[in-house]
Structure 1
Amino acid sequence: MKRLYLRIYLSMIASLAIFALIAALGWKFAFDREHASRDERALVAEVVAALLPPADAPPEAQRAVLERWHARTGVDVALFDARRAPIAAAGRPVPAPMRVDGGREGQEGWGAWRDAAEHGPPAWSVRLPDGRWAVARIWRFKGGPPFGWGALLLALTLAVAIGAYPMVRRLTRRLERLQRGVDALGSGDLSARVPVQGRDEVAALAASFNRSAERIETLVRAQRSLLANASHELRSPLARLKMATALLTEPSVDGSGREGGAATEASAAQRAALRDEVERNVGELDALIEEILLASRLDAGAGIAREPVDLLALLAEEAARAQATLSVEGEGGADVKRADNRAATRFTVEGDPRLLRRAARNLLENARRHGAGSPVEVLLSEGARGPVVEVLDRGPGVPEAERERIFEPFHRLAGHGEAAGGVGLGLSLVRQIAQRHGAAAVCLPRDGGGSRFRLEFGGAGATH
Structure 2
Amino acid sequence: MKTLYLRIYLTVVAVLLLFALVSGWLLQRNIEHERIRVEASGNERLIAWGELLQNALPAVDAPRDEQSQALLEWSSRLRMPLALDDAQGRRIATSQAFARWIDGGVGPDGPVPPDELRPPPPEGVEPAPPGRPREARRPRPDDRLPDLVERRPPQRVALSDGRTLWVVRPSMLRPGGRGPDGRLLVPEPPFFMRGVGLLLTLGVLFVAVAGGAYPVVRRLTRRLETLKRGVETFGAGELHHRVDATGRDEIAALATSFNAAATRIESLVQANQSLLANASHELRSPLARLKMALAMLDTTPAERRGALKDEIERNIRELDALVEEVLLASRLDARHPRSRDGVDERVRDPVDVIALAAEEAARVDAVLELPDEADRAAAVPATLLGDERLLRRALRNLLENARRYGGAGAPELQLRRVGEWLELSVSDRGPGVPASQRERIFEPFYRLPGHAEQAGGVGLGLSLVRQIAQHHGGDVHCEPRAGGGSRFVLRLPIAP
Q: Does the alignment reach a TM-score above 0.5?
A: yes
1:359 paired to 2:407:
no
User: Between Structure 1 and Structure 2, how many residues are aligned?
Assistant: 383
1:402 paired to 2:448:
no
1:279 paired to 2:296:
no
1:323 paired to 2:371:
no
User: Is the 2:176–2:188 Cα contact (8 Å) retained in structure 1?
Assistant: no
The structure-2 alpha-carbon separation of the partners of 1:352 and 1:21, relative to structure 1 and needing over 3 Å to count, comes to: closer
Alignment of 1:96-175 (within 5 A): 122-123=176-177, 138-141=184-187, 143-145=189-191, 146-147=193-194, 157-175=206-224
Give the corresponding residue for 2:128.
none
Give the corresponding residue for 2:403.
368
Cα distance in structure 2, aligned partners of 1:26 and 1:304: 59
Cα distance in structure 2, aligned partners of 1:309 and 1:280: 33
The structure-2 alpha-carbon separation of the partners of 1:66 and 1:400, relative to structure 1 and needing over 3 Å to count, comes to: same
Map Cα deviations across residues 84-122 of structure 1 (whole Å, 9 max, x no partner).
xxxxxxxxxxxxxxxxxxxxxxxxxxxx99xxxxxxx63
Cα distance in structure 1, aligned partners of 2:323 and 2:354: 30
Q: 1:309 aligns with which of 346, 351, 360?
A: 351
User: Is the 1:219–1:299 Cα contact (8 Å) retained in structure 2?
Assistant: yes
Map Cα deviations across residues 263-294 of structure 1 (whole Å, 9 max, x no partner).
xx5140x2122111111101101111111111
Task: Return the letter of the residue paired with 1:438.
Answer: G
1:65 paired to 2:113:
no
Give the corresponding residue for 1:295.
329
Computed over aligned residues only, the root mean square deviation of the Cα atoms, in angstroms, reads 4.1
User: Is the 2:13–2:213 Cα contact (8 Å) retained in structure 1?
Assistant: no
**Partner SS, residue 307 of structure 2:** helix
Task: Return the letter of the residue paired with 1:326.
Answer: L
User: Is the 1:75–1:139 Cα contact (8 Å) retained in structure 2?
Assistant: no
User: Is the 1:77–1:137 Cα contact (8 Å) retained in structure 2?
Assistant: no
The structure-2 alpha-carbon separation of the partners of 1:64 and 1:446, relative to structure 1 and needing over 3 Å to count, comes to: same
Map Cα deviations across residues 420-453 of structure 1 (whole Å, 9 max, x no partner).
3101110111011111111111111212221111
The structure-2 alpha-carbon separation of the partners of 1:76 and 1:188, relative to structure 1 and needing over 3 Å to count, comes to: same
Map Cα deviations across residues 386-429 of structure 1 (whole Å, 9 max, x no partner).
21101011111112222111111111111211233101110111
Cα distance in structure 1, aligned partners of 2:435 and 2:321: 29
Cα distance in structure 1, aligned partners of 2:411 and 2:198: 92
Task: Return the letter of the residue paired with 2:393.
Answer: R
User: Is the 2:347–2:472 Cα contact (8 Å) retained in structure 1?
Assistant: no
Cα distance in structure 1, aligned partners of 2:147 and 2:198: 33
Give the corresponding residue for 1:10.
10
Task: Return the letter of the residue paired with 2:216.
Answer: M
Shift in Å at residue 28 of structure 1? Answer: 9.4
1:230 paired to 2:279:
yes
Cα distance in structure 2, aligned partners of 1:217 and 1:317: 40
**Partner SS, residue 432 of structure 1:** helix
The structure-2 alpha-carbon separation of the partners of 1:75 and 1:249, relative to structure 1 and needing over 3 Å to count, comes to: farther
For structure 1, list consecutive stretches of 5 or more residues without a partner in the other structure: 33-44, 81-111, 114-120, 125-133, 251-264, 337-342
Give the corresponding residue for 2:486.
451
Map Cα deviations across residues 145-190 of structure 1 (whole Å, 9 max, x no partner).
5246666655655554444334323322332222122212221222
